[in-house]
Amino acid sequence: MASQKIEIPGYQGRAVVVGTGAAVRITDVEGAQIGDLFLLAADDLEEVFSAAMTRLVTFHLFPTIGESFYSNRRREMLTFTGDTSPGRHDMTFAPCDSEFYEELVGETGHPNCHDNFMSAVAQLDFDGRLPPDPINLFQSSMPNTEGGFDIERSPSGPGDFVEFETQMDLLLVLTACSADIKIEDVDVIGGRSTPLLLEIG
């Protein structure tokens, strides 16, 4: 499938510019790893993925196969074309940041998706670009009837993948989530961040 393969090591992120009509596959290499996927229009970085707009168009908490992810300008960015995982994904949480770990466990300088996004886009000379809301692949955080979330360990297994088709030229950023701490007594990624594989064809 892939004409380009990019490994995202645990606790890190990578950025790439992807053209319209490309096939994108993201694989959870070892299992139970959340991937934060960020989408920005390559020709205008003010146009970014919007979870709220996507829910308005699809009327789903997360698109189903054949549906798309939309920008803040109501344009299709990415179409969801395949999923071999148990299908738990999230569009409600912002990327983890340094303050998240300071508040929960009092740890400063912990790797996080916010900083990994910033580092990844800087490698492509997009310095200073703040991360939009991500698509949290393989993350199980389903809303419950009490108005909160049922947080579970990521249910994806080794080799599970999701597939997409790009609908515009994108700056695509993928980070291997660093949440190696317990959240509501759950090891959401099994206690350590592990690799993801990004394939573009």
Cα→Cα distances 46→3, 42, 69, 135, 172, Å = 28, 9, 16, 17, 14
Residues of the chain predicted below pLDDT 50: none
Residue type, 140: S
pLDDT value of position 1: 56
pLDDT value of position 153: 98
Q: What is the DSSP letter of 104?
A: H
pLDDT value of position 107: 85
CA atoms of 19 and 112, how far apart (whole Å): 27
pLDDT value of position 7: 98
Structure tokens at 159: 């080799």
pTM above 0.85, yes or no: yes
pLDDT value of position 30: 98
Q: Which helix (H) or strand (E) element contains residue 148?
A: none
With vertex at residue 111, the alpha carbon angle to CA 162 and CA 189, rounded to the nearest 5 degrees, is 45
Judge contact between 155 and 140, C-beta under 8 A. Answer: yes
Judge contact between 7 and 192, C-beta under 8 A. Answer: no
Domain ranges of the chain: 4-200
Q: For 25-43, how does the pLDDT look when each residue is reduced to its tens digit (9 = 90+)?
A: 999 999 999 999 999 999 9
Would you give the distance in Å from CA 5 to the centre of its chain?
17
CA atoms of 197 and 174, how far apart (whole Å): 9
